[in-house]
Each structure stands twice: as C-alpha cells, then as structure tokens.
Structure 1
Amino acid sequence: MNEKGFTLIEMLVVLLIISILLLLVIPNIGKQQDTIQTKGCAALQKMVQSSVEAYRLDNDQLPDSLTVLKEQGYITTFKCKNKLELSYDKTNGTVSLP
C-alpha cells in the first residue's frame, strides 16, 4: 500500500496549529479597534479641514458650519465611525476632534 496523502494524525496536527495561531491573532485585532477608530477620525478631521479651505478659496469666506459643507457637496460626513461629530470654530476656520 503505497498511497500518497495525509494521515488523520497529520491533519489533526495542522488543525491544531491553525487553531493556536487564530487564538493568538484574534484578541490582538480586537485590541487594535480603538487605535483604528482614533486614526480614522484624525484622517477625517484633516480631510474636513481641507474641505473648509477649499470652500474658503471658492467663496472668499469661511463656511458657517460643517453642515454647509455637506449641503454643498464638499464633504459627505463630519461624523466619525464611533458616532462622534467633529467640532468647527468659524472664527478661525479650524476643525477639531471632539
């Protein structure tokens, strides 16, 4: 009997190794979720700040609110994925994280 293939023991060892790797990787993904959300919100803040500048260049004035930017199509949202809204200071045209 000279058949080529895997034995049951070999398959069980491979499944054991894959299971151990998954047990090590999955908790780390959950821990990184907050970091991912924070970096995503910071990127959104920079994009909205750029849109404020684009609005200022197009209209020679700062927008009254971020809602104006959304209504005129400069941005699609000013809320982060974790439901926090960016804040906007009209006096100097800065967008900041909550």
Structure 2
Amino acid sequence: MKYTKSQKAFTLIEMLVVLLVITILIFVAIPNITKHSKSINNKGCEAFVNMVQGQVEAYEMEFHTYPASVNELVNKGFLQESRAKCSNGNSIIIDKDGKVSEDKSS
C-alpha cells in the first residue's frame, strides 16, 4: 500500500512516547490510591460506629437497658452478623453507658 503525504499516521517513536507518559502517570497514581484507601476505610469505620450508636439507642428504647456487647445487638436483630466489624477490620465495643467506639487494639 502506498502512502501519500496527506495520510497521517503515528510513528513508532510517537507511540513509545505515549506509552512512556501513560506508564509514568500510572506509577504516580497507584501510591496515591493506596494511601487514600486507608483514610477511606477509617471514615467508613467512623460512619459505622455512628450507625451502631443509633442501633444501641434503639435497643435501649425497646429494652430499657444498654446492650452488653455487639453480639447482643446481632442476636436481637439490630445488626447483621456480617456487619459486626468496621471496614478497616477493627472491632467495635460498647461500654456500660451505651457509648460505641472502635477497638483499636484488635
């Protein structure tokens, strides 16, 4: 096939330069994404703790006492068993006054 001057095409060098630029952008972006995933999980855990706090208050309204543990909320149907932990893997605890917090030691 014969090419004329009016037909434009990419040369091999141009393609390699484009691939190099894309590669550099990927190498810059991946560490930023992994760095932000931890902060996203922590914010998700804060939201989960607030949601469980609401369930503790609903439990207290129904039974006139605070639950002793998260397992009690699960057993009474206030939480699903698969959702008894934060998104970052930490457990949550309920103190005797019904205050919910993240157990950072787990």
Deviation at 1:37, TM superposition (A): 2.4
In the TM superposition, residue 18 of structure 1 has moved relative to its aligned partner by: 0.9
Which range moved further: 56-65 or 11-20? 56-65
2:93 counterpart residue number: 87
Q: Conserved in 2, the CA contact under 8 Å of 1:69 and 1:75?
A: yes
| Moved segments of 4+, more than 4 Å | none
The 8 Å contact of residues 44 and 78 in structure 1, kept in 2 or not, is answered as: no
C-alpha displacement of 1:83: 2.8
Q: Is the Cα–Cα contact under 8 Å of residues 55 and 74 in structure 1 kept in the other structure? A: yes
Q: Quote the sequence identity (%).
A: 44
- The alignment's TM-score, normalised by the length of structure 2, stands at 0.76
Computed over aligned residues only, the root mean square deviation of the Cα atoms, in angstroms, reads 1.8
**AA matched with 1:95:** V
For residue 71 of structure 1, what is the amino acid of its counterpart? N
**Structure 1 residues not aligned, in runs of 5+:** none
| Total equivalences in the alignment | 97
In our comparison, the structure showing a higher alpha carbon Rg is 2
Partner of residue 24 from structure 1, selected from 3, 6, 28 = 28
Given residue 93 of structure 2, which amino acid in structure 1 is its aligned partner? S
